[in-house]
Amino acid sequence: MMSGGNYTTIDNQKISGSVPAVSDPGQVTVKFADSNLETFPPSEAQGKISGASRPPRDADETFSKPVPGSDESPPSGWLRSFTVAAYKPYFDVDTSDVLERIKDSLFPFNGSFSEKVASNPDLYGPFWICTTLIFVAASIGTFVTYVAHKIQKKEWDYDINLVTWSAGLFYGYVTIIPLGLYIILKYFSAPSGLAQLLCLYGYSLFIFIPALCLSVVPLELFRWVVAGVAGFLSATFVALNLRAHIKSAGERWFLIVAAIFLLQLALAAVLKIYLFTVTV
């Protein structure tokens, strides 16, 4: 390189390497992190997702807080009655529990059902017993009327009202009667748990399932006997399991037990009259 006067001469030569750029004071230099995209997956996790594949979290934890009304933050007070979590304990049974309680309802003279379910009454068994009764009653009643019409060579039409009538009868009975008894016992200062009463009345109806199946036999006397036996066993099951508790209501306890017994017999009579009395 030679310089002289007011000009500069640059000799031609081979320049090796890189020429450093002159940074402009008015520019902002942006640095990029070194990438390792040549290997997939990357050897080290980048960003907020760690090697354990945990999802990214917000800095202010907005979406990590429990949502009001969810199971993590259940409502309190009377609002809890409108949540699913409030009824979970009443469905916490397995098959062996349900079968054991059904067996107790078929042998009512022990009178120990209330003691066994006092700490864990369930609504699972009563719900499915009532639901099964609805379809059994409707189907058996329809079959009986169909056979009777065919024997007498009469025209037969399916009656859909048997399903709705059975649903109203069983669901209504297993709900209204225990609720009314609960109010009466509370009035006489002998309160009982509503869940225990619903459980007791629900299992008391199981005996009517085999009774309805036996009612397909086309003998009127036999049907009355079946209805009477089923009603007696069901009434005895409820009365004996509530007798010891109702005694604390005072001198009128006998009237309450008698009313309970007669209501169960009346249910059996209603089933016989409306389902198996064939009119052609």
Model pTM greater than 0.75? no
What are the φ and ψ backbone dihedral angles of 15, each rounded to 5 degrees?
-95, 120
Q: Is the pLDDT of residue 49 over 90?
A: no
Reported as type and span, the H/E element at residue 146 is helix 124-151
Buried b (16+ CB within 10 A) or exposed e, 12-25: eeeeeeeeeeeeee
Tell me what pLDDT residue 105 has. Answer: 92
Contacts of 150 (CB under 8 A, 6+ apart): 156
Tokens matching residue 239: 């009365």
C-alpha of 222 from chain center: 38
Contacts of 168 (CB under 8 A, 6+ apart): none
Mean pLDDT of the chain: 74
Question: What is the pLDDT confidence band of residue 75, given thresholds at 50, 70 and 90?
Answer: low
Asked whether 231 and 265 are in contact (CB, 8 A), the reply is yes
Segment 171-230, tens digit of pLDDT = 999 999 999 999 988 888 777 888 999 999 999 999 999 998 998 887 889 989 999 999
In this predicted structure, which of 138-142, 157-161, 236-240 has the lowest mean pLDDT? Answer: 157-161
Tell me what pLDDT residue 76 has. Answer: 63
Residue closest to 173 by CA, chosen among 220, 136, 129, 222: 129
CA distance 36 to 43: 8
Question: What is the pLDDT confidence band of residue 277, given thresholds at 50, 70 and 90?
Answer: low
The residue with greater pLDDT, 145 or 61, is 145
CA distance 107 to 237: 8
CA distance 78 to 187: 22
| CA distances (Å), origin 90, targets 7, 84, 117 | 101, 11, 11
What is the gyration radius of the CA atoms in the chain, in angstroms?
39
CA distance 273 to 173: 17
